[in-house]
Structure 1
């Protein structure tokens, strides 16, 4: 819900209706009040006025008039709406399938184009623009739901299989070890297809690399290791033939490469203040952005990290911020050796700053 104002600045209201696990209808609302968004649970099954139309809906999208909302206000039949009321159809209704039900999103736009960064004097939203906007938003939501559902499924399946193996459970048929091997093999194959399509290559996993993934025991480490190995193989590839097979060997899989923070007593007791605290926050934000890119398999560059920040900035702006805070950054990196592992190793602006410092000490 909170992402909608970032996509459409100043959107007046967003309502989500869904089915609870017990079958009851529920909902949430995000509404703009005094230039701030407030989130609350406001919709219940007793508020729904047109239940049949709601429950029998199919995935898709359409633009509706505020008087056609199924959950509030006095309902009007379509014939009662004026012929020129199309410009007043400013509520985008997105319907997404989730498990056994349909999630309904109602996005309340203004009648002008100001929610899209266009000045209000440039006219109302016409039918053509609304069709394009509706299609783009629906496809964005569909991709989000598919990705979320697939990741949840993978995590649940992987966790269940590993737990069963560790507990030594068996049913006398296919062994849990064989079940785990089959699942990891199918997951890796499916994931490599996604990475191959993204980078226009043909990635394959060697038998020794598959064995290494099977013995990993952690879905997060397996996924991160496979992404990093694929990136390395692609980088080392010298052929221009897109159909050429790129084989990932076990030596490319570093399943311990993504370090996690382990508490250090002296470091944990150190609490930065003032400018040092703001510099630490800068490093935290850069690491968070880099982690998001890393999980997607994207390159961790100044431009891509800058766009992932809550307030996007350019690559030169990041470099300038690192330069101005270089002394404090180096102090923090030394004080917290286990923090910010991704940007320490893969974020070139920070790597350059550290290397420059090392070279300066060598000259001195």
Structure 2
């Protein structure tokens, strides 16, 4: 039987828990109004197999409905007083007898939320009632004992039901909170996407404006190819370099095309890429300082500064000359000063470049003073 359905029908959840909550439990029957079939159904739970089983009510609807109308919430009944017969659905044996012992049976009525009548829970106890401090239920089992035991059992069910209701309430609240949070996150995501599109649109217009201004300074008419427009649309690089990038891009396109004054300057994406670098500028920091002898630290730092400066010069489309690299240094220096520093560190540069062949690749490949030292 579906657990979700059991949880919805209170008498069935009580039936399921009775084997754990009721001392001396033998077996139990639950009679309830089915919310879908609109008729009386019965479920059995036995201590022997601990499984919920459907049983036939065998034309008992009228008798059960009379019992469901009673306002007595809990009462003791004897087997002979129960006005119904049970037919086992699996064995089809009429009038199932629970065992040969005389039983006391506790009847608990639980309100059905679908028809507002009481569903019935019959609980049968074992003859050995040591859990209640008695050897047998029929030994000195008087009205006072019954009252104490029924109150104890009802209280156990009430506590269980209260805890389950509180848990369901908290669970429902959490589910509602999650739904609210989910809706808010979805809304924020949509708003963020809208803002991002607006920002990208404004940025695209701004870059086009910068390029247009640079072209007008040269008395040229700007034309962006589709590839160039796509590149600008996807730009996510450093904003601080946009003006310089626009100027360098237009200058390169002008030099290459040698456009006459008043002519059309066609800008391809490859004029933009060297300057509108989509990757944010990062400094070379090899981390070698941490593992090398302290005698090599200054040499390593010098090579790192030269590599960073060379990357910056190349991104601007300029030649990797000593003068250009010197001006691109954090503290600009002259080309002769670079040559003197390299000569001073010649042996260490050779040793480091041999030991770390994958470092400072740009200046080793394209900066003549370093190439000369390594080839000496």
Structure showing greater radius of gyration is 2
TM, length-normalised to structure 1? 0.36
